[in-house]
Amino acid sequence: MVYIDRVTAEYENSLRGAEHEINLYIMPLDHWENAVAEIKADIIRDSGNITIAKGNGSRRSLGLTLANAAGQYTPDKNSYFWYNRKFKIIAEYILPSGDAYKFSQGVYIIKSSNEANGRLKISAIDKFGNLNGENKVGAVVQPFTTDISAGTIYVGDLIRETLLRDMGNGYPIDPVAPLIDPYFDSEPLYADITLSSGQYYGQIISQLADMYGADTYYDAAGHLIFKRKPTYSQPAWFMHLGYVWRYKDADETIIAGTPQAEHLFDGVNCVTVATDNADGVVYSYTAKNQNAESPVNVKAIGERFLSPPIRYISLGDATREDGQEKCKQYAEYLLTEKTRDSVSETFQSIYIPHFDVDKAIRFREEDYVIDKLNINLTNRRMELKASNVAFLPSNWSVESYE
């Protein structure tokens, strides 16, 4: 039996065993993301890594080396590895029973390559590189602006139109349908977005994420995600979908060694977001970490603000009544993100291919959320950077805190 992106008890129990092997293969894709080949035997095991980090925009990067003695992968116009060519990475785990579990590890676009001694080393990033200008696709030549005065523009429609913009050769930037929160299919654009010459059309999507408090990135299967962010309830929200893994005491999956915590002493526990409109109406909100369990809460270390201390967002229509709430939502989200940066811990584990950032795990009998994964493809291990959920800002009421 072959399972695609599925986790079962049999799979989890087998991973905890002493003997297991996870193999990778590459599926070169055409522009429409149909598989055109499969590369497995030529992937060199002794080098390579996948990095996945939280945040909006490009989350995944990849380094990999292929055996290329015959020159079959040398980049040229007929190669699988050339300008704008895409490929998917698949992790395959075959159990002793013969059942195979396959997990997508991202769809990538090559950035650079190095060929020497019969080997081709490639560096690649996920498809957001075609939106943020990193791959130099979709540049704005003439100034561009939306025009809400001419009629209602829905956020979901604007995102889809942006992805389908012509790259200049008759192909859309991204032909794969995005996964957009249905809320945005009926949410109108409330302020025009203007791009100057030299910017990139994909920045429309990034600006929309800031305006509406949304997460936007590419998932492991290569779909653009655009969804609302949880705000003050984010710590509880991390637990809503359950754990992707429960690390046990003396767990066979944890690499021997003491977890490490990085302390840069640049933690933030206050975030102010402000906005205004054409009539000069100003809204603002300051989110503060007042969770008594958090080691970086305001009472413990004083107020520490972002630099610059105030973040501004556009409000648009002066008749809007939710300006204060918009500031509150964005401030609380930013505060949680910055707190995660300052309280993360790091440890090593075996490579577990269904892991991803922003997913919850159980570690040392406490709840953690994954901030970053660095997967070493040589030894099939991964380094996890994760935050204790109990340390994050929340709206939990703690008696006698104030």
Q: What's the helix, strand, coil split of the chain in %, to 5?
A: 15, 35, 45
Domain containing 207: what range? 144-228
Task: Give the CA distances from residue 90 to residues 100, 207, 221, 293, 377, in Å, rounded to whole numbers and listed in that order.
Answer: 12, 32, 10, 40, 12
**Is residue 302 located within the same domain as residue 195?**
no
**Is residue 94 located within the same domain as residue 214?**
no
Contact 100, 1 (CB under 8 A): yes
Task: Give the CA distances from residue 392 to residues 44, 137, 194, 222, 295, in Å, rounded to whole numbers and listed in that order.
Answer: 41, 38, 35, 30, 9
pTM for the full predicted model:
0.90
**Is residue 337 located within the same domain as residue 190?**
no
Q: What are the pLDDT tens digits along the chain (402 aa)? A: 999 999 999 999 898 876 678 899 999 999 999 999 999 999 998 778 999 999 999 999 999 999 999 999 999 999 999 999 999 999 999 988 889 999 999 999 999 999 999 999 999 999 999 999 999 999 999 999 999 999 999 999 999 999 999 999 999 999 999 999 999 999 999 889 999 999 999 999 999 998 888 999 999 999 999 998 776 677 777 777 789 999 876 555 666 555 666 666 778 999 999 986 656 678 889 999 999 989 999 999 999 998 889 988 877 654 566 788 888 888 888 898 889 988 888 888 889 999 999 999 998 888 999 999 999 988 888 999 999 998 998 754 444 334
Residue 66 within a domain:
yes
Q: How many domains would you assign to the chain? A: 3
**Is residue 116 located within the same domain as residue 184?**
no
Report pLDDT for 275: 83
**Is residue 82 located within the same domain as residue 170?**
no
**Is residue 380 located within the same domain as residue 239?**
yes
| Residue at which a domain ends, from 169, 204, 228 | 228
- How many CA atoms lie within 13 Å of 242's alpha carbon, on the beta-carbon side? 3
Task: Give the CA distances from residue 128 to residues 60, 88, 203, 218, 286, in Å, rounded to whole numbers and listed in that order.
Answer: 9, 14, 10, 7, 31
Residue 218 within a domain:
yes
Report the C-alpha gap between 373 and 385 in whole angstroms: 6
Written as six digits, the tokens of 158 are 């604007």
Residue 124 within a domain:
yes
| Residue at which a domain ends, from 228, 250, 269 | 228
Residues 6+ apart with CB under 8 A from 135: 84, 109, 111, 125, 129
**Is residue 385 located within the same domain as residue 243?**
yes
Report pLDDT for 155: 97
| Residue at which a domain ends, from 197, 228, 259 | 228
**Is residue 94 located within the same domain as residue 194?**
no
Task: Give the CA distances from residue 137 to residues 34, 62, 173, 200, 202, in Å, rounded to whole numbers and listed in that order.
Answer: 21, 20, 8, 8, 9
**Is residue 160 located within the same domain as residue 111?**
no
Report the C-alpha gap between 48 and 211 in whole angstroms: 37
Exposed / middle / buried, residue 224 (Cβ in 10 Å: 0-12, 13-18, 19+): buried
Report pLDDT for 323: 81
Written as six digits, the tokens of 112 are 């650079």
Residue 357 within a domain:
yes
Residue 307 within a domain:
yes
